[in-house]
Amino acid sequence: MIERSNSIQRVAAFVMVIGTIFILAPLVIAFLTASRSYEEFVQAGGIEFSVGSHFVANIREILFETELPRQLINSFVISLLVAFIKCSFAFLATFALVFYQSRLNTLIFALTIATVMLPLELIVITTYQVVANVAMPLNWLLSILGIANLSEWIFGWRPEFQLSLLDTYIGVAAPIATSCTSVFIYRQFFLSLPQDLPKAATMDGAGPIRFMIDILLPLSWTPLVATFMFWFIGGWTSYLWPLVAASTPDAQPAIVGLAKMANADDETIPNVPLLMAGALFVSFIPVLLIAFMQRQIVQGLNLSEK
């Protein structure tokens, strides 16, 4: 800083402390409550600001007597799928958009970028119908082209295909992965590379695919890793779509499982300590990721400056 100004430094320190407390408070309260036994909690009748001794016991109960561990694996697989689809599909497409000459470039770029405008949550009603039968467009096509009628006329069989992806990993992950922000990020990155890279590669005898794998991919590692982690967290924290697309407990991700646990219609006072332990349990992986990988994520996305 340029000069020491006590008043502003003191205010800044105060603001920083208050802000950090505001952010940490729910997590700390969740932890303190999760450290009590159900009986202690019922007896105390609410929040107590001291550490109890039952945290491990509650986590053990989460681990061995609820569906959350299994659902944590679901979360993990779904988030990996989301991140993988988002990164790989966008990488391939952006490679083509930037390094290929085609009249379709503008149109395809616009089509992908438009997906960023409308969040999946908004179109969840009809997305559900599509995922419930992904062969639906094929059926339409056959019917519009007259093939369906033709087949009915010739073979006496009308083609109607069905394939439901509800309650499957890919069915939950694919719609989340439609938002094509990655295309935009990678495009920025590719455009910032030296202009004559592909030319040089060609002189070395490398075709476009070799160029992509051997040159572009290693160069893009930093933004790829950063976006991958970011979309992983995004997939982990998504809620509305997994809630409707995965209705059986076996297929639900942990966030949905926790919400179901909280809304369960029990005959007794809800086991709040267990719920708080559950809330921490379903959050620890992405929070650790963002706490320890923050530099990589933020700087990886921050492609040129600094």
Partner 1 sequence: MKPGKIILASIVFAGQSSLATAEDIEFWYGNTGTIEAAIQTACEAFNESQSEHSVTCVGQGGYEPAMQKAIAAYRSQQHPVMIQLFDAGTLDLMLSDAVVPVQDIMPDVDWNDYLGGARSYYETSTGAMFSQPYNGSTLIFYANMDALGEVGVTEIPDTYEGVVEVARQLKENGHSCPVLQRVHPWFSLEQFSARHGEPIATNGNGYSGLDAEYVFNEGLVAEHLTNIAAWREEGLFRLPVDTEGEKNAFNTGECAMLETSTGAYGGTYAALGDSVGVGLAPVYEGYERHNTLIGGASIWVMKGHGDAEYSAASAFLEFVRQDAQQIEFTRTTGNLPVTKSALETLRGSDEAGAIEFATAELGVTSLSQPGDDNSRGIRLGFYVQFRDIFVEEVTKAMNEEQSVQEALDAAAGRGNELLRRFEQTYAGVALP
Partner 2 sequence: MQALLYPKTYSFRRRPENILAACLLPRRESVVAQNFYKGRWSYTAFVAPILLLIGMFFYIPVFLSFFWSFFLERPFGGGSEFVGFQNYARILGDPEFWSAMRRTLLFMVIAPGLAIGVSLVLALAVNRGLRGSHAARNIIIWPKAVAGASIGVVFVFIFDPFLGVFQSINAIFPGLWNPRVDGTDAFITIVIAQIWNGIPFNFIILLSGLQTIPDTLTKAAAMDGAGPWRRIVDIELPLLTPQLFLTFVLEFVGTIVEAFGLIDTMTQGGPGGATNLLIYKIYSDGFKAYDLSGAATQTAILTIFVTVMVLLQFRLEKHVKYER
Candidate list 142, 185, 246, 274; residue touching partner 2; CB under 8 A = 185
CB of 283 to partner 2, least distance (A): 5
Partner that binds at residue 85, options partner 1, partner 2, none, CB closer than 5 to 8 Å by kind: partner 2
Q: Hey, what's the torsion of the CAs at 63, 64, 68, 71, to 10 degrees? A: 100
* CB-CB contact of 162 with 232 (8 Å): no
Nearer to partner 1, 75 or 182 (CB): 75
Residue type, 74: N
Does 216 participate in binding partner 2 (rule CB under 8 A)? no
Kindly state the smallest distance separating residue 43's Cβ from partner 1, in Å.
12
Interface contacts to partner 1, rule CB under 8 A = 45, 128-129, 132-133, 135-136, 138, 160-164, 166, 244, 247-249, 252, 260, 264-269
Size of the site for partner 2 (CB under 8 A): 128
Q: Under the criterion CB under 8 A, does residue 264 sit at the interface with partner 2?
A: no
- Is residue 166 classed exposed, middle or buried when 0-12, 13-18 and 19+ CB atoms within 10 A define those classes? middle
The conformation of residue 118, written as its DSSP 8-state character, comes to S
Tokens of 128: 């559900």
The binder of 3, among partner 2, partner 1, none, by C-beta within 5 to 8 A per type, is: partner 2
Determine the Cα–Cα distance for residues 174 and 116; give it in Å rounded to an integer. Answer: 15
**CA–CA dist 234, 194 (Å, integer):** 32
Say if CB 64 and CB 153 are below 8 A apart. Answer: no
Both tokens assigned to 101: 């000459």
- The pair phi, psi for residue 180, each rounded to 5°, is -95, 35
- Partner from partner 2, partner 1, none contacting 132, C-beta within 5 to 8 A by type: partner 1
Which of partner 2, partner 1, none has residue 303 at its interface (CB below 5 to 8 Å by kind)? Answer: partner 2
From the list partner 1, partner 2, none, partner contacted by residue 268 (C-beta under 5 to 8 A by kind): partner 1
Residue number with CB closer to partner 2 (121 or 204): 121
Work out how close the CB of 96 gets to partner 1 at its nearest, in angstroms, rounded to a whole number.
18
